Chain A
Amino acid sequence: NAGVTQTPKFQVLKTGQSMTLQCAQDMNHNSMYWYRQDPGMGLRLIYYSASEGTTDKGEVPNGYNVSRLNKREFSLRLESAAPSQTSVYFCASTSPIAGVPDTQYFGPGTRLTVL
């Protein structure tokens, strides 16, 4: 069981370039999430997918798009990268059960620098 995997681990982009961050989980979880983590701030939700075929905006969705390719995979795309998108990006997954607090499992993160 690899849990949640993310690729790449590191990436440097120039302003205006595009790229896709990949995330996959092998725990058969229904819900998947993309967060960004910036110094001095808590993780902020970019987009989430409650189940296969659905996606919703989180707290900071501007400049990003997502695709829930199948139950396992959830990708995050930056169409035209900006220096403000320099951050560490985390993917997470969980399977919520009504009435039971669920645990999110996080990937190792992708450190992105936009010059």
Chain B
Amino acid sequence: KNQVEQSPQSLIILEGKNCTLQCNYTVSPFSNLRWYKQDTGRGPVSLTIMTFSENTKSNGRYTATLDADTKQSSLHITASQLSDSASYICVVRNRNNDMRFGAGTRLTVKP
């Protein structure tokens, strides 16, 4: 079983709508959690990083939350745009510097 599970696997929403992507992890001991955006045919690009003490962090229309007690994170996208269509990957690092990648959520924003 993967140490980082993301849901849903895929999601289709209309332009302008909001959505929330989920990430559950078992990686331990926890160091930080990062959300990446990966456009089709491109490498992942970092959106935000969260450490143990952070609950919420925003980057424009992207807001990430972290609950280290339940080992859950979410990425909320507000007022979606066509350019938000991509895969969103959750990556969790432990204190030994090992990283585990989730399989990603593929988001499609339709006009």
Contacts and interface: CB of A to CB of B under 8 A. Distances in A.
Interface string A1-16: 0001000000000000
Interface stretch (A42-50, A61-69, A71-79): A42-50
A42 B42 contact: no
B29 to A, nearest CB: 15
Q: How large, as a class, is the contact surface on chain B?
A: 20 to 34
Contacts of B97: 96
A13 to B, nearest CB: 20
A50 B31 CA distance: 19
Q: Taking chain A's interface residues, is the majority helix, strand, or loop, or is none over half, making it mixed? A: loop
A97 B2 CA distance: 28
A44 B46 contact: no
Interface residues of A, number: 17
A101 B31 CA distance: 9
B43 A90 contact: yes
Contacts of A42: 2, 4, 89, 91, 100-104
5 contacts: A41-B2, A43-B44, A90-B44, A92-B43, A103-B49
Interface of B: 2, 4, 31-32, 34, 41-46, 49, 51, 89, 91, 93, 97, 99-104
